[in-house]
Amino acid sequence: MVITSAQIDEVVAMLAPVMRRTPMVASRALSDMCGADVWLKCENLQRTGSFKPRGAYRRIAGLTDAERARGVVAASAGNHAQGVVWSATTLGITSRVYMPTGASLPKVTATRAYGAEVVLEGEIIDESLVAAQAFSEETGAVLIHPFDHADIVAGQATVGVEIAEQMPDVGTVVVPLGGGGLLAGVAAAIKSVRPQTRVVGVQAAAAAAWPGSIAAGTPTRVAEMNTMADGIAVAMPGAVTFAHVDELVDEIVTVGEDLISRAVLLMLERAKLLVEPGGAVAVAALMEPGALALPGPVCAVLSGGNVDPLLLSHLTTHGLQAAGRYLTVAVTVPDRPGGLAMLLETLRDSGASVVDVIHSRVAGELRLGEVQVTVSLETRGPEHQAMVREALRSAGFFD
């Protein structure tokens, strides 16, 4: 059953004293790409760095005294963990979180800092969830599901309430989609006050359980997931979220890995906002002109900003490559004085900026008197890359 306006209003009042009202920021870069007025709803600036505390707080605050006494438990690799623990600590309730052994150190550290007992168990989140369920059954601790509960959906709906208040004439809302809690809540809130507003969910194409589930008319497990957007990599929708999305959401689309990394880069460079890959998929969907019907104004939800610093460097490099601004070429040059200088002069004259040079005499099938040079370059885009390659060919180099 879909949550009601009365339920949403109750949660709005509950969260007002403890939750941040995140800003709405205009994006000229996206507006130019889309031909529509685009604004960003910055849930990456929410407490714990994502929208997750909204639903977690509502769920935990609704527990009985007896349930509170037994504490709460969750399984998560990041955002859900921090949302649950912050909420539990704020409400004076003990919490335990099971995280995969490969969870990033910054996320583990942050979760502990919010007050949880963190247990590293399982190689993947599904195995951590089994451990959390076993702990719940053994101790009576309440398992806080990341998305599939009406209280969670009602908490996330407050994002939609704020959007409707901050953009009273909003024509399209584009929302990242994993398990569906955020999309379900935003759709319920928006459609209750502006039924004509289009609500669009966006998944990573490499972890897209929703298109098949909608086509089948029931939650359906996706066979394989492999995406940088780990925060929205959910193998199967829940029953509660499916009911909301199936009834209220106008369209679900998917985006590829290159677009996701370019979206992260765009937010860093143009909006000065740090957004994690899963939180940037709504932006990615808007970066393909004509891919979506966009009655404006448009709101793109940035659902989270928790990125491991080590991962961020890989993401930005991937984004630069996808945008045609980072090029690596391997060429063969004569192994004699002036050979490398001639290559660098050719690159200089083509307007490329050298980032890194690797010089090897033992690579590939080199002949005597040859050396392979691998050069990483900063370029201005795909056309400039084509110019650089042609300059290398004309100079007698082969990449």
The per-residue b/e assignment along 86-102, b for 16 or more CB within 10 angstroms, e otherwise, is bbbebeebbbbbbbbee
- Is there a catalytic annotation at residue 31? no
Which residues are 332's β-sheet partners?
Answer: 372
* Residue 69 host element (H or E): helix 65-70
303 is catalytic: yes
Q: Which CA distances in Å does 195 have to 148, 153, 269?
A: 24, 18, 35
218-222 long-range contacts (CB < 8 A, ≥24 apart) are 218/242
Bridge partners for 299 per DSSP? 39, 173
Residue found under tokens 């050298």: 354
Which residue of the set 52, 87, 191, 192 is catalytic? 52
SS3 47: helix
What is the C-alpha separation between 94 and 144, in angstroms, rounded?
13
Task: State which H helix or E strand residue 72 sits in.
Answer: strand 72-75
Active-site residue identified among 87, 95, 303, 350: 303
What is the set of active-site residues?
Answer: 52, 303
